[in-house]
Amino acid sequence: MTAVVVPPVGTVGLPDSAAGDTVAYASYGREDAPAVFVLGGISGHRFVNGDPQGGHGWWPGVVGDGAALDPARYRIVSLDWLGGAGDSSGPAASETSVPIVTTQDQAHAVVRVLDHLEIDQLHGFVGASYGGMVGLALGALYPEKVRRLLVLCAAHRPHPMAVALRVLQRRIVELSTGTGREFEGLALARAVAITTYRTPEEFEQRFATSPNWDEGPPRFAVEDYLEHQGERFTQRFSATAFRILTQSLDLHRVVPEDVLVPTTVMSVDSDTLVPPWLVAELARRLPKSGRAVRITSIFGHDAFLKEHQAVGRLILNVLETEDHNG
């Protein structure tokens, strides 16, 4: 087993970058194993397979011992988002506007990490949600750096309704911050976001509609769930990071014809944020015989987090196809 030459966890400088001065990364597995970069949604972080303090990774069932992305088989690399909640830096906050970080900025950071780790070319890139957008930007800007892309629940541009919902979430955060109630507003914005990640069918199965009257005013089961999700989010995210990354989602644009990497895209039939027809449009326009896979799930946009078996099978199919041509 070959020892890793550079530290498996660390930061790298970003010279001449307006989006941040440093990017934090994590690497798992042998240095000589096929390298796979893994990135998730805006709340994802570099510790995809656990942190040095024993904390869990954010993609259990997909990354880990015996899973599709097994560090015993692949060298798995990830990073913290520029402008996000992790240890990467971001642009200076402005009182008048949200600082700009684009998916192209994140792709430049990916390449800086690869150069630091002396990885000439990735065996594959697996990106879900925001991470899939960054993967498309990487494929357009640096096609020589990656042999194959797998893009889950993401497309070449945002849907206008998704933009509208995120604009309203940022307005909630802005108003609450202006009145000294930043954390309340951030929790509420995140709760609203959760309703866009899931589906009415799942909520129908999970939550009773009859209120609980035990403590005075009527209290609904779904209310408890959304409050919990919002409060948990505020423990690790700031209002500034939320505004930067949700705006980055809305600014995302990649011309599919510029993605010169064999690419597989996965959509979910119940995903309203990134509808299957938009993913199909992306696949049709990809120049390297883009392949579209559509799965059925009750979990909507969050299916990439919940449908471990389907996602794992697809990852293995893409990564194990030697001459992958989409």
Q: What is the DSSP letter of 27?
A: E
Confidence bin at 94 (pLDDT 50/70/90): low
The pLDDT score that the predictor gives to residue 6 is 64
The crossing angle, in degrees rounded to 10, of helices 160-178 and 182-197 is: 160
Q: How far is CA 137 from the centre of its chain?
A: 13
Dist CA 25 CA 81 (whole Å): 9
By CB atoms closer than 10 A (0-12, 13-18, 19+), residue 26 is buried
Average of per-residue pLDDT across 9-36: 95
The tokens describing 132, both together, are: 């899939």
Q: How would residue 263 be classed by pLDDT, with cut points 50, 70 and 90? A: very high
What are the pLDDT digits (tens) for 225-234?
Answer: 999 999 999 9
* Distance of alpha carbon 159 from alpha carbon 157, whole angstroms: 7
Task: Please identify which of the residues 271, 297, 302, 324 carries the catalytic annotation.
Answer: 271
> What pLDDT score was predicted for residue 216?
81
Q: Which of 17, 129, 248, 297 is catalytic?
A: 129
Is residue 5 pLDDT above 70, yes or no?
A: no
Burial grade of 218 (CB within 10 A; 0-12, 13-18, 19 or more): exposed
Nearest to 18 by CA among 90, 66, 96: 90
Specify the higher pLDDT residue, 93 or 212: 212
Cα separation of 303 and 5, whole Å? 36
Name which of 10, 25, 147, 20 is nearest 91 in CA terms: 20
Q: What percent of the chain has pLDDT over 90?
A: 87
**Complete domains list, the chain, with CATH:** 9-157+252-320 (3.40.50.1820), 160-249 (1.10.1740.110)
For 64: left if phi > 0, alpha if psi spans -120 to 50, otherwise beta; the answer is: left
Q: What is the pLDDT of residues 108-151, one digit of tens each?
A: 999 999 999 999 999 999 999 999 999 999 999 999 999 999 99
Q: Where are the alpha helices (DSSP H) in 14-129?
A: 103-116
Q: How many CA atoms lie within 13 A of 201 on its CB side?
A: 10
Query: What per-residue confidence (pLDDT) applies to 53?
Result: 85
Contacts 24+ apart (CB under 8 A), 155-158: 155/265, 155/274, 155/278, 155/279, 155/281, 155/282, 156/252, 156/253, 156/254, 156/255, 156/256, 156/281, 156/282, 156/285, 157/252, 157/253, 157/254, 157/278, 158/249, 158/250, 158/252
- Quick check: is 238 catalytic? no
The contacts of residue 121 (CB under 8 Å, 6+ apart) are 144, 145, 146, 147
**What mean pLDDT is reported for the chain?**
94
Write down the pLDDT at residue 4. Answer: 43
pTM of the model as a whole: 0.94
Judge whether 301 counts as a catalytic residue: yes
Helix (H) or strand (E) holding 317: helix 308-320
The C-alpha angle with vertex 153 and arms to 102 and 156, in degrees rounded to 5, equals 45
Q: Among 45, 156, 252, 301, which one carries the catalytic annotation?
A: 301
Distance CA 178, CA 115 (A): 42
**Residue 82 CA from chain centroid, whole number:** 12
Q: Is 270 a catalytic residue?
A: no
Residues facing residue 187 across a β-bridge: none
Mean pLDDT to the nearest integer, 297-310: 98
Cα distance between residue 213 and residue 220, in whole Å:
9
Compute the distance between CA of residue 195 and CA of residue 143 in angstroms, rounded to an integer: 35
Instruction: Kindly state the DSSP code that residue 66 receives in the 8-state scheme.
Output: T
* Cβ-contact 24, 110 below 8 angstroms: no
Across the beta sheet with 124-128, the strand order is 9-13, 22-28, 75-79, 35-39, 124-128, 149-152, 263-268, 291-295
